[in-house]
Chain A
Amino acid sequence: MKLVFYGGGHESENLHLHKLSVELTDTSSPTITYIPAQSYGAEEDFREFVKSFKKLGVKKFLFSPIDFKMSDVLKEEILHSELIHLGGGNTFYFLYYLRKAKLLGKLKKFAKSGGVLTGLSAGGILMTPNINSASYPSFDCDDNDEDVTDLRALNLVNFEFFPHYKNSRRYNEVLEKESKKLKYPLYGCPDHSGIVYNQGNLEFIDRCYAFVSGDRIKLS
């Protein structure tokens, strides 16, 4: 599997991660699908997304918000892309509508059959076993307005992901505490940093941290 986790931030500041993502497709002319976390404001985000990837020579894009009924044709087409990018936003909302659109299984299959799956913030969390990390810390968590109780996600990796991480005492206290409950690492990635998962190998881009059994470890 080939996955890229984006810690967050603006498109133009994530160009280095975009470059790594495109390289993972092993093709000079990939089709990239952008799935935003919500349709509200997504067209403008898509415009910025296209602008960024165009700089890397990408010419083919699909755009597919999932919180309204997309056509079956487009739903099928996106799975033929070389790369699917899951955008940032409210993780609960995103999971709710991915499940409703019956896309979770299809995305999993996409990733397992060689497609590059990337995710920024909420999109990255969705690639992990569950979306627990969207519900803490209390001062910086997503609202669960959709009352999602089944927090299981794509489960493509055996770690959890905490985007927009800030190396401060109040964040560290919460993440250290949460990591004690886990059997696998919890990776904290600030904006513009990220993780590349390539066929089982992990590469940490910029300042990433691992939280393991209550300890904090600087990774890159």
Chain B
Amino acid sequence: MMTSKKISALKKSPAKWDYQKFDKIDGSHPLKKEVSDSVVEYQVRSRPGGEVAVFNFELAKDMGLIDKNHPEILTPELQAKINETFSIVIINEYDKEEGKEFPESEIKPKTYMATRYLQMQHPNKQGKTSGDGRSIWNGYIKGRKGITYDVMSCGTGATKLSPATHIYNKYFETGDPSISYGCGYAELDEGLASFFFSEIFWQNKLATERILAIIKYPKNISITVRAYPNLIRPSHMFSHLKQGNYDALKSMVDYYIERQRKNKLWEKAPKTKSKYNYFLKKECEVFAKLVARFETDYIFCWMDWDGDNILMDGGIIDYGSVRQFGLFHHEYRFDDDDRYSTTIKEQKSKGRYTVQTFIQLVDFLKNKEKKNIKEYDNHPVLKKFDKIYKEEKLKLFLARIGYHEDHIEYLYKYQKKTVNSFYKTFCYFEHAKSKHGRHEVGDGINWSAIFCMRDILRELPQLYLSRGNNISVSEFIGIIQSTYATEEDLELNAYRKKMVRKFQKSYWSLIEKTSSYFDTTSQQILLEVLVRSSVINRYDRVTGDSITKIVNKVMSAKPALTPDEVYQTMKEFSEYQNFDPSSGPFSLTAKPRRPKLLKSMLKIVREHREGL
């Protein structure tokens, strides 16, 4: 760990690190040329008054922006470079209409683009006027391991693609206080929430945009800089499909496939026309596995027909409505003013519909004739989607219990019937809702789930190992009951008793079958499951509610956190929220930079662990 003396010496030392790579992020991007129909270009100017709130050193190293040996310290030179590169604002249509003039020295030499994509909240349902409403793409950069990253920033000014422009039929001044979302600004707390959430998901091997930096301005305003190997969303393609713009669609799909190939993610993609079949196959896999993972991990991500809010490879983008539930709150709907979102269970049909749209898209690309999407209702790729989804759900279920890969392969291949039966019993408890009924919550509506399945999966193998026998029905209910459950909810009727017995019978059956196949004892399998399950089903898992509270805590910490402290705090916290049982011991040996803050963050997680 670096001492404060060393840190201050480093901060005072003349620049010894090379930050020139930042200069490559200058607005240039191949999409401008390759799919010009997809972009709106803006001149940008430097925005004064910015201060780096946090910088993601690990990501910056992966992107090759800083030397891999650079200490995790924001040197004055690095801070200046981040500001110079990312503290910008667009010169928009309003500025031009008003004839505003800006000093030449403040204007960047190249233009930056906002991209067009389909958005259901837009009046135009074909994507003719929608897209990045308050973001621009800063550019792209080739990082370590040959991966090219796209870089974009949110909060860089109001573009003409924001819904507000078309609802009110006028251009807005950047920062116009009369219109919130359409003003082109972003807020610091939303940026920090994205930062914490995305890093936790990243630790847990979920594809997600990552936050490279946040620059803060007075009045809680910020610019959030995001990076990812390919920031194209399905909606970038769907807009061209809706409009029947064959050439633009083809260019966009070709562009996407080529980037995936260059990033060595789709190395096997053919170079002939059959690449579109490959593309469809991949997207089917991506979305089938994604919705299975979201359901298993209780991740709520508002997917809809427009293909917005998600990246082509299933990466999460835009954390505005993303949540991770503590229980399976499958009736929760986010209230987006004029409409309610889908529920976590409806994500599957939305993911399936996205794949159906890809089928339509590929058919259009191959035959130059756009057919009605209904014509693909029974397409074999959708059957494939259903198959992959089911398989993934069961495998993830087994992983969640605590089985490792070899066990899962065996159980899935040879004991599918037992696994299926156990899963159905598991769902009976997981899906149980309170008799309290539907009610309003902070940002939507919910009908609370009542059982915490993580708790039973964590405690049951221990109790079985210790007793070598079943636990009683009341003990079982005592373990899974959540704070949402009322006395009435916990009533032990004959059917519930039967389901508890069935649950335990199936649990034992899988353990015994596994031990028999792997020629070991049930005790040994239970022990392996126990150790893995203690990590996978850890008591204090972060939820959307807790992220909100944690961000407030970080923002109001006294004394205020330095950018380096925000980064370190996030790092310690996200490492703790790593639920991968096969990852090595995490680095808790170093004393946390702000131990009291970290402790209070953990307390928040515990208090909100069953929430939304």
Selected interface stretch from B358-366, B393-401, B416-424, B457-465: B457-465
Q: Is the CB of A46 within 8 A of B531?
A: yes
Q: Is the CB of A145 within 8 A of B599?
A: yes
Q: Which of B519-553 contact A (CB under 8 A)?
A: 521, 523-524, 527, 530-531, 534-535, 538-540
Q: Which residues of B contact A71 (CB under 8 A)?
A: 455, 459, 478-479
B502 at the interface (CB under 8 A from A): no
Q: Which of B534, B588, B606 interacts with A41 by CB under 8 Å? A: B588
- Fill in one digit per residue for A43-77: 1 if any B CB lies within 8 Å of its CB, else 0: 11011101000100001111101001001111001
Q: Is the CB of A77 within 8 A of B539?
A: no
Q: Which of A39, A41, A54, A80 interacts with B539 by CB under 8 Å? A: A39
Q: Is the CB of B540 within 8 A of A39?
A: yes
A81 at the interface (CB under 8 A from B): yes
Residues of A contacting B: mostly: mixed
Q: Which residues of B contact A62 (CB under 8 A)?
A: 462, 465-466
Bound-state Cα–Cα, A114 to B227, Å: 60
Q: Which of B521, B530, B585 interacts with A63 by CB under 8 Å? A: B530
Q: Which residue of B lies closest to A145 (CB)?
A: B596
Q: Is the CB of B523 within 8 A of A40?
A: no
Q: Which residues of A contact B602 (CB under 8 A)?
A: 39-40
A31 at the interface (CB under 8 A from B): yes
Q: Which residue of A lies closest to B528 (CB)?
A: A50
Q: Which residues of A contact B527 (CB under 8 A)?
A: 50, 54, 59-61
Q: Which of B549-576 contact A (CB under 8 A)?
A: 576
Q: Which of A48, A73, A143 interacts with B463 by CB under 8 Å? A: A73
Taking the nearest CB of chain B, how far is it from the CB of A108, in angstroms? 21
Taking the nearest CB of chain B, how far is it from the CB of A1, in angstroms? 22
Q: Which residues of B contact A68 (CB under 8 A)?
A: 539-540, 606
Q: Which residues of B contact A47 (CB under 8 A)?
A: 531, 534-535, 585
How many A residues face the partner with a CB closer than 8 A? 27
Q: Which of B441-463 contact A (CB under 8 A)?
A: 455, 459, 462-463
Q: Which of B462, B540, B586 interacts with A44 by CB under 8 Å? A: B586
Q: Is the CB of A43 within 8 A of B479?
A: no
Q: Is the CB of A40 within 8 A of B588?
A: yes
Q: Which residues of A contact B463 (CB under 8 A)?
A: 73-74, 77
Bound-state Cα–Cα, A50 to B528, Å: 10
Q: Which residue of B lies closest to A47 (CB)?
A: B531
Q: Which residues of A contact B466 (CB under 8 A)?
A: 31, 60, 62, 77, 80-81
Q: Which residues of B contact A43 (CB under 8 A)?
A: 534-535, 538
Q: Which residues of B contact A39 (CB under 8 A)?
A: 539-540, 602
Bound-state Cα–Cα, A80 to B465, Å: 12
Q: Is the CB of B465 within 8 A of A60?
A: yes
Taking the nearest CB of chain B, how far is it from the CB of A69, in angstroms? 8
Taking the nearest CB of chain A, how far is it from the CB of B96, in angstroms? 54
Bound-state Cα–Cα, A43 to B606, Å: 16
| Residue among A40, A46, A72 facing the most chain B CB atoms (10 A cut-off) | A40
Taking the nearest CB of chain A, how far is it from the CB of B464, in angstroms? 10
Q: Which residues of A contact B373 (CB under 8 A)?
A: none
B471 at the interface (CB under 8 A from A): yes
Q: Which residue of A lies closest to B538 (CB)?
A: A43
Bound-state Cα–Cα, A39 to B598, Å: 13
Q: Which residues of B contact A81 (CB under 8 A)?
A: 466
Bound-state Cα–Cα, A68 to B537, Å: 14
Bound-state Cα–Cα, A189 to B45, Å: 65
Taking the nearest CB of chain B, how far is it from the CB of A45, in angstroms? 8
Q: Is the CB of A59 within 8 A of B523?
A: yes
Bound-state Cα–Cα, A73 to B540, Å: 19
Q: Is the CB of A61 within 8 A of B462?
A: yes
Q: Is the CB of B596 within 8 A of A73?
A: no
Given contacts A40-B588, A59-B465, 8 further A-B contacts (CB under 8 A): A44-B535, A44-B585, A44-B588, A50-B531, A62-B462, A74-B459, A77-B463, A145-B599
| CB-based closest 3 A-B pairs | A44-B585, A41-B588, A73-B475
Which B residues are closer than 8 A to A by beta carbons? 455, 459, 462-463, 465-467, 471, 475, 478-479, 521, 523-524, 527, 530-531, 534-535, 538-540, 576, 585-586, 588, 595-596, 599, 602, 606
